[in-house]
Structure formats: structure tokens, C-alpha cells
Amino acid sequence: MAAPEFVTLQVDDGVGTIRLDRPKMNAIDEQLHQEVRAAAIEASERAEVRAVVLYGGERVFAAGADIKAMSQLDGSGMTAWGRELQSSFRTVAHIPKPVIAAITGYALGGGYELALCADFRLLGASAKIGQPEILLGVIPGAGGTQRLARLVGPAKAKDLVFTGRHVGAQEALEIGLADAVVPDDEVYATAVAMARKFAAGPPLALAAAKRAIDEGLDSTLDEGLALESRLFAELFDTEDQKTGMTSFLENGPGKAQFSGR
């Protein structure tokens, strides 16, 4: 496979940064989303990556899909394109490690749909997010109607999707579209610091917790509880569980060093 042109995975001290860099606005075309998928797979598989930051650079996260490319497709062509795009984003959502979207500038349409695949969204104070697809005569097609409604509820999701309006960082924080807002020039550093805290935790337990929550939301309560119980019990066959409980008994909480085994 050729070296990626628009997306890189940079690893430092347990944190993997999936960096989008397609000038000028990180418009999401077929090549970019496939490179995002490859980076997500690599981040999932590399043991030294214990947490992930999604980042589009200092100016913009991703301003949306490549409308020029999409405008040439009919329904059958878009069926295939949309299936592949959703597959790429699903790969990001299924990274079995904590994932933080560090958002500067615009995260619109497909750009915000990518951010919705993260576990947390950290916004710069001047960031703008939204799902403006309705203004083009279409709807979000890469998870915007589904992940958004699960995040903030159907009424708020319908407001954003029906109007296509841009949402500023403070409103995003108030309604749950963002988890934190920081000064623009502190977005990446803050996201990395947050990721490093997760990276120090037990990888197997974090993966189990993420799976239990995400899959449980799409199940009945009884099914979710059964999944939680199974994953909980399986962790008692890990070295990290022995390390964590021994450390707690001998030294108190928060002092264990986890191996990921």
C-alpha cells in the first residue's frame, strides 16, 4: 500500500495522534477517509498506542465532505461511496482505546461525523460545528443522524439536522455536543494531556469499559448487563487485575503500573 498522503499516525509517550492534513480544509474524499481507516486500524493494533487524539491541525478539524466529488454521483454511486465512508468511520469508533477529537476551526458535516466517532470532543473557543447537509438538499450520511441522536437526544439532533445551522463552542458545550472548551491555541496540548491520563490506565479494562458502554447502548438493558458481567469476569484472568488489586491493598488507589496483559 502506498504511503499515506493526507493522514498520519504519530506516536509519543503512549498517545497516538491521527493527523488529518489535506489543504485547505481537510475536505473528506475517498482517499482521505481510507487513510483515516488505515490509521485507525494501526492505532488499534499497536500496543504502544494506549490512547488516541484525532486532530486536523491548528486552523481546521475538517470542514466536511468533498462536495465537488460527491456532486457527480447518482444514488447507486453514492450507495457504494456512503457504505465505504461509514465503514471507515466505524473503524474509528471501534478503536478499543480512549479517543479524543481535538477540534479547532470548523468541524462540519462529515468532519463532525468523524468527531462523533471519538469518545470525547474537545473544542477551541472559536470552533464551529454542525451538520449542514440539509442546505444541500440531502441529510447526514456518515452517522450524523444516528450518533448525534444518541449523544444529545432526538430533539436536539433534529434541530441541528433540520436547520443545518452552525453551533459555537459554548452552545456545543451546553447541549452536550462538546465535552470541554479551551482557548484555541491550547486545544491539541489539552487533548494530549487528557489522552496521557488514559494511557496510564489499564488497557484491557479500558477496552472492556468502552465496549460495554458502546455496545450496551445498542442493546436491551438485560443484554447490556449480561455483556458487562461477562467482560467484568474476564478481566479477572488478566495480569493487570492482579497488579491493580495488589497495588491497592499494599499502597492505596491510583498507584498501579499496568502492563496491558
Q: What is the pLDDT of residues 114-157, one digit of tens each?
A: 999 999 999 999 999 999 999 999 999 899 999 999 999 999 99
CA distance 85 to 69: 13
- Is 56 in contact with 62 (CB distance < 8 Å)? yes
- State whether 166 and 246 are in the same domain: no
The values of phi and psi at residue 114, to 5°, are -65, -45
144 closest CA partner among 124, 126, 164, 127? 164
Residues 244 and 133 in one domain: no
Q: What's the CA gap between 161 and 75, in Å, rounded?
A: 21
Active-site option among 30, 58, 113, 223: 113
Domain that holds residue 220: 203-251
Residue 83 and residue 62 share a domain = yes
Residue 107 three-state SS: strand
Tell whether 55 and 98 lie within a shared domain: yes
30 catalytic, yes or no?
no
The mean per-residue pLDDT over the stretch 15-40 comes to 94
Q: Domain containing 221 — which CATH number?
A: 1.10.12.10
Asked about 113 being catalytic, the answer comes back as yes
Residue 143 maps to which CATH number? Answer: 3.90.226.10
228 & 169 share domain:
no
- Residue 177 shares a structural domain with residue 217: no
**Catalytic-labelled residue, pool 30, 35, 42, 133:** 133
Question: How do residues 224-258 score in pLDDT, each as one tens digit?
Answer: 999 999 999 999 999 999 999 999 999 988 888 99
Task: Name the domain count of the chain.
Answer: 2
Q: Tell whether the model's pLDDT for residue 1 goes beyond 70.
A: no
Same domain, 189 and 217: no
d(CA 251, CA 261): 21
| Same domain, yes or no: 176 and 212 | no
> What digits encode the pLDDT tens for the residues 165-184?
999 999 999 999 999 999 99
Same domain, 235 and 152: no
